Copies of this chain bind each other. A is one copy, B any other.
Amino acid sequence: MKHLTGCFSNVEGFSSVGKHVGIKPADKDFAVLLSDSVCTAAAVYTRNQIQGAPLQVTKEHLTNNSAQAIVVNSGVANVATGRKGVDNAVKTTELLAAELGIKADDVIVASTGVIGPQLPMDKITAGITGIKQELGSNEDFAEAICTTDTHKKEVCVTAYGFTIAGCAKGAGMIAPNMATMLSFIATDAAIDGQELSALLHDCVDASFNMMSIDMDTSTSDMVVVMANGRVQADTKQFREVLQYVCQELAKMVARDGEGATKLIISETRGAHSQSDARKVARSIVASNLVKTAVYGNDPNWGRLMMALGNSGAEQINQDTIQIWINQNLIVENGAAAPGYDAEKLTALLADNEEVTITIDLQQGSDSATAYGCDMSEDYVKINAEYTT
């Protein structure tokens, strides 16, 4: 697997652009991705029962598992905007389709930003006019979809003859009053639409769905993949690379969590079932008390025991639990490991921006990995000081 610099420009047949249309004061806030031909496409959406207008429109447009373009704005989420919000999302796809000479129901639409306000359709209309000529003029798609992210997140790898490029945004599951984790992935591989959908669901389950910044699932989360079919691809190989791309993007989002200073990788093994492994791995990155301990460089294994005991996993025996922090055994058979040295571990944590917490339940052979970040005072500041 070879990493390439940049994002969508590496995938033959795709062109993109990111620009400022005036929804945000100064930053880029509008992005379009176009494929030369109609692609097979699939998406995974938030499980939040309150869902943004763009998701409702995109779901309808993707029932046939095909798409040719993606249009995204940042600054306004178009959530809790009623019938008018849905009309505006539809209108956006129609305007872009007319500009690009494609079908409106081949356009995927997404929005991220403040919940409540309507989209400024005058600015969006002006931004779409003439965008056909701008496509390919820059690689700023990933930048234009950011809200409170401190930097853009993109990855592109080539392997087995095909290429997958993807980008993501998100700094809180919901950023300060800004909804959304969004990810867009493009590939030249040839994958049938329904198969693409199944593969994406699997890969998202092992990546974005195993990531937590604050357990607050946004109302607009969406991961989309488009495949233009130029390169024949083996399904197993495609799945391997797609999963890698999703996991790399998920790690980037976790590392850039609001106020975060450290990436937490939570590995669980020896679980009785896959479900147990996932629950335990996620419980570690979900616990505020674990997150604050990591921030404080505190090898607080009592909190790890507390968190995994709350995971809802079916089969846990406290007397068989082993825990490592960055490969150092700290809990053996449910109690402090012999030779446990809190001072040494505190220094180790202080020296590392990546903390791997490994738990062996010794109840079976299933394993899972989750991604998260620590919690600093800045998480509270960022989220308390923002006022509607």
Contact = CB atoms under 8 A, between A and B. Distances in A.
A50 B79 CA distance: 40
Q: How many copies does the complex hold?
A: 2
B305 A115 contact: yes
Interface string A258-300: 0000000000000000000000000000011100110111111
B384 A288 contact: no
Contacts of A219: 305-306, 309
A115 B81 contact: no
Nearest to A319: B82
Interface residues of A, number: 67
Contact of A298 (B217, B289, B386): B386
Given A50-B308, A310-B216, A380-B292, A302 B80 contact: yes
Nearest to A216: B289
Most buried by B among A297, A346, A383: A383
Interface in A338-388: 342, 346, 375-377, 379-381, 383-388
17 contacts: A49-B309, A49-B316, A50-B318, A51-B309, A79-B305, A82-B333, A82-B334, A115-B303, A115-B305, A217-B306, A288-B383, A295-B380, A296-B384, A296-B385, A342-B388, A375-B380, A380-B380
Interface of A: 47-51, 77, 79-82, 114-116, 172, 174, 177, 179, 214-219, 287-289, 292-293, 295-303, 305-311, 313, 316, 318-319, 331, 333-336, 342, 346, 375-377, 379-381, 383-388
